[in-house]
Structure 1
Amino acid sequence: METNELHHASTVAIDGKAAVIFGCSGSGKSTLALRMISLGATLISDDQTQLSLEDGVLVALAVPEISGKLEVRGMGIIRTPFEPRAIVSLFVDMDKVEETRLPPAREIVLLGQKATLYHCIKGDHFADALMQILKYGRSD
């Protein structure tokens, strides 16, 4: 059985592992996605991401109408290479700022599946840290 939901989120991936970045309009979703792309990630979808449960695996899918397009505030819509899908590895909530130096592991449940959740970090290292986590995981 397949289940699908459309979410207000930007998604990038590296090595087939996706980071789904959600938050209110203007929260920095596309900016974080652009930074991660500059570090080697590939766009899945900007501003809207289709989430699908396929054989018990949470998958992020590009929305066909906006595939390969990324909104850059102050510059407009730019083109970028994209992948049509990736397995969700983690979520980022841009509306919540991390206040803890060593935060606990957090989870979110979407489509009945648990996934790792991070809150926004106000610092230049946030995209770098997310890239490392996507590549190598977190040590808990």
Structure 2
Amino acid sequence: MINFQNKTKSFLDFVTMFVQIVLNTTLAFLAVIITCLLIKELIGFAELVNSDQVNQYHIFLERILVFFIYFEFISMIVKYFKESYHFPMRYFLYIGITAMVRLVIVDHEEAEKTLMYAFVILILIISYFILNFTPRERPEKYTIQKK
């Protein structure tokens, strides 16, 4: 019985390690793709500044916010590798806030939608505020005791 448990544990360890390697490789590949898109946005900025559309601030702001979304995703992937394969929740909130601000700037014709987007931004900011004031470690009374 003990031999079976050891084999099962070693098999599960192998599967976990394999899936972690696949995940890390995929995220590294995604980081390369997003970096290329980030560079493409920088080139787009240069073209936009030199074009006749420089006075259309909606286009410029939209491009800046897309740039920051790419930047935040890359930062999140870097943090994932630096923090022992863990995505910090605050980065998801940053990306959500930036994406919603982009929607407000791009799609602001209907007042109801804009109000809804603003409400979502408020919820995300409140979530970020709560996250910052919550202790990072769980109190001992809430942790599961191993026997």
TM-score by length of structure 1 reads 0.25
Q: Which structure is higher in helix share?
A: 2
Q: Which structure is higher in strand share?
A: 1
Q: Which of 1 and 2 has higher RCO (CA within 8 Å, sep 6+)?
A: 1
